Amino acid sequence: MSELKAVGYVRVSTDEQAKEGVSLDNQRQRIELFCQAKDWHLQRVYTDEGRSGKDLKRDGIQQLVEDAKAKDFDVVVVYKVDRLSRRQRDLWYLIDDVFEASDIGFVSVNEPFDTTSAVGKACLGMIGVFAQLERDQISERTKDALAFKKSQGYRLGTQPLGFSIVGGQLESDGDELASVKYAKKLRQDDLTLRQVAQQMNDEGLKTKRSGRWFASTVRYLLNNQIYAEV
């Protein structure tokens, strides 16, 4: 498919990432080269600098949505899907309710997502299915661990991070459990406890208990067997 009118979208979460991570310029260059290879006309690159992907309250993404609904282009290109959004609910809103509704394709330079083709559209759908399955399995394993601890005399003084108490029962909180998993991944990437907490705060990822992340919060979830399978 050629002669498509394309736009790009780039984002970094913090000033530090803008300097040391996958910079805006790097993302923009990869998108430009990709469009050249596809023989697509890149009209514009929407930008959100120093903004988290936790929600859609970003000037760049809001302008992208507005222009997409006006059908000003044919395809949206990103460096990676998580640049668009880190939340599955927001991602599917953009793809289904905004892009698909306006007959606009969606492509990731660094991943096999290309809704301008039937195969690419199916691939993106399967990724979403397995991502949801992983979250459900994590929730089940964590609740099983809690039930076992309770049967062994473990007393739950306060609700653990990633859970809510509903009707006297623990219910998993998908968004907060996803934050727990992200924090563990940052720690595995050799960030210190303090750096992990700072990164979580910089991206606007809050805990329901205290609002902010601290080094002690990260230490708690790393040392607690409740989160061994997260």
Other Cβ atoms less than 10 A from the Cβ of 133: the count is 10
Spatial distance between the Cα atoms of 121 and 105, rounded to a whole number of angstroms: 9
- Distance between CA atoms of residues 34 and 84, nearest Å: 17
Q: Residue 191, CB half-sphere, CA atoms under 13 Å: how many?
A: 18
Residue 50 per-residue DSSP state: S
**Annotated catalytic, 13?**
yes
Is residue 193 classed as helix, strand or coil in its secondary structure?
A: helix
The amino acid sitting at 52 is S
Q: Which of 2, 13, 23, 179 is catalytic?
A: 13
Residues recognised as catalytic: 13
